[in-house]
Structure 1
Amino acid sequence: MKTKIPLLILLFFLTKNAFAQQTSVENSYPKVAGYMGILHPLNTWSADGTSTGNFGAIYTIGFPAGINILKSDKIGFSFEFVPTIRSENGVSKMNNFLFHPGVMFRFKHGLTLVTRAAFETSGRYGFTPVLNKVVKKNKHSNYFVAIPLPVRFGNDRPTTYTLGFQFGVGF
């Protein structure tokens, strides 16, 4: 019996601090979150002229999926991967894959600015500022809309500037 009492006292002091330092999961960082969505390019401008994206004989759609590592309520890092499918003349194929890492700057009211680097399998590279807005927040997920503005260089083609529309779900 004598050996049980010191053991219980020792156990009490070891566990007391562990429980006293627990904080809410909602306010602890870093946090990891994922998301997936659908991306529609709307308009592209270059020295060769203007392309109206998906409003002609060609239809392009991207499927962004990513992982966000949130350092705080204000900043985080994001890894995004975007396979793109293009349909033209009755033939559809995956025509590009984009690796899109970036830094997230989070603001009030569900607004986020993401500054992304861009590396495409088509041989193009560049950057993409993205303005993102959470439109519906649930307990374990949220729905968002985003306006990406890709700027691309390389592969012996003129610089392009594109306006896109993206929507998706974060979890």
Structure 2
Amino acid sequence: MPFKHFLLPALLVFSFSAIGQTTYPKITGYFGVVHPIVTFSEDETTLNFKDYYAVGFPTGINIWKSSKIGFSFEIVPNIRAEDGISKVNSLLFHPGVLVALGNGYTFAGRAAFETNGRYGVTPVFNKTVIKNANSSYYVAIPLPVRFGNDHPANFTVGFQFGIAF
């Protein structure tokens, strides 16, 4: 078999096998809306939507080192509305590690540094619910734990949804 007759089929097989593969590192961005649902501390249990309304807008960049692990940096402006007054309550800096769990699930283990003086960690469980060619939609359950600023430690359960691209 002449070399040129061997080379063409080999190139076609290689070309088709490379289609759909992802090159790493892979960079993605996202924007979402997060609602804290309930917050527990030693002093009290508070519910969002009852006496106040709090909402955050997580915006970030994910850098995937491989299909299994990555780094994420997120910034979240948090707004609180209470007694007819709304304001940016804090700005959250939220770096973390991403671990792909399979079937569209991802775990994010984040450090948390808030401009209101609070700090802590936020484990986040994320699920891609709709995946398109250029974007995907996700839902997530963030579980922030916060300390500092002369307040008791607290634990919050939240709900987040958004778009990644």
Normalised by the length of structure 2, the TM-score is 0.88
Decide which of 113, 123, 128 is 1:129's aligned counterpart.
Answer: 123
Q: Match for 2:29: what amino acid?
A: G
Amino acid at match of 2:83: N
Corresponding residue SS for 2:103:
helix
Change in 2 beyond 3 A, CA 1:24/1:71: farther
Structure 2 counterparts to residues 1-171 of structure 1, below 5 A:
24=19, 26-54=21-49, 56-171=50-165
* 1:14 match: none
Offset of 1:27 from its aligned partner?
2.0
What is the alpha-carbon distance in structure 2 between the residues aligned to residue 26 and residue 150 of structure 1? 35
Instruction: Say which SS state the counterpart of residue 92 (structure 1) adopts.
Output: strand
Rounded Cα–Cα distance in structure 1 between residues aligned with 2:32 and 2:85: 23
Distance 1:149 1:116 in 2: 10
Compute the RMSD of aligned alpha carbons: 1.4
1:26, 1:128 → 2: CA distance?
31
CA distance in 2, matches of 1:122, 1:25: 44
C-alpha displacement at 1:166, in angstroms? 0.1
Q: How many residues are treated as equivalent by the alignment? A: 150
Q: What is the aligned-residue identity percentage?
A: 57
Q: 1:33 is matched by which residue type in structure 2?
A: T
Query: What is the one-letter code of the residue matched to 1:43?
Result: V
Q: Spell out, residue by residue over 1:76-119, the C-alpha distance to the aligned partner (whole angstroms, 9 max, x if none).
A: 00000000111011111111100000000002110000000000
What code does the residue aligned with 1:123 have?
A: G
Residues in 2 aligned to 1:166 and 1:78: alpha-carbon distance in whole angstroms: 16
Q: TM-score, normalised by structure 1?
A: 0.85
Q: Secondary structure at the match of 1:93?
A: strand
Query: Unmatched 5+ residue regions in structure 2?
Result: 1-13
Aligned amino acid, residue 159 of structure 1: A
Q: Give the match's secondary structure for 2:116.
A: coil
Q: For residue 92 of structure 2, what is the amino acid of its counterpart?
A: L
